[in-house]
Amino acid sequence: MDTDQVSGRWDANKGACPTRQVLSRIGDTWTMLVISTLERHGTMRSGQLKAAIEGITQKMLTQTLRQLERDGVVRRDVVPTVPISVSYTLTPLGQSLGVAVATMRTWAYDHMDEIVAARNDYDDRPTAEE
């Protein structure tokens, strides 16, 4: 029972498994928003991403893009315009991650009403234990 759904070498339930850090990275909200925004729009410049993702700071966007580039999820291209500009595109690896992120995002959209109803129920309960 302990081994099903665990994929041979990897098990994020183990503290030292490197997939836990990857899970933490890809589950980050800014990361998910950058990935799904690039998936939707294709190649984008940093300023376009910043405009498309309300509330992201330049620092957080730069840091997120750099980590995604390092992980091979995003490709950074220097465009020889004047002045030089830089564009970002999902790699094939990033596109496959985009599918997983879309599943999470779609789940949130599809179940938001149920979550709100559950919260209202919970908050209305007498708190016998407290």
Q: Provide CB contacts within 8 A for 77, sequence distance 6+.
A: 43, 86, 87, 88, 89
CB-nearer residue toward a second copy: 82 or 123: 123
Q: Residue 19 interacts with a second copy (CB under 8 A)?
A: yes
Q: Residue 107 interacts with a second copy (CB under 8 A)?
A: yes
- Positions that interact with a second copy (CB under 8 A): 1, 4-5, 7, 9-10, 12-16, 18-20, 22-24, 26-29, 32-33, 36-37, 39-41, 52-55, 69-73, 93, 96-97, 99-112, 114-119, 121-123
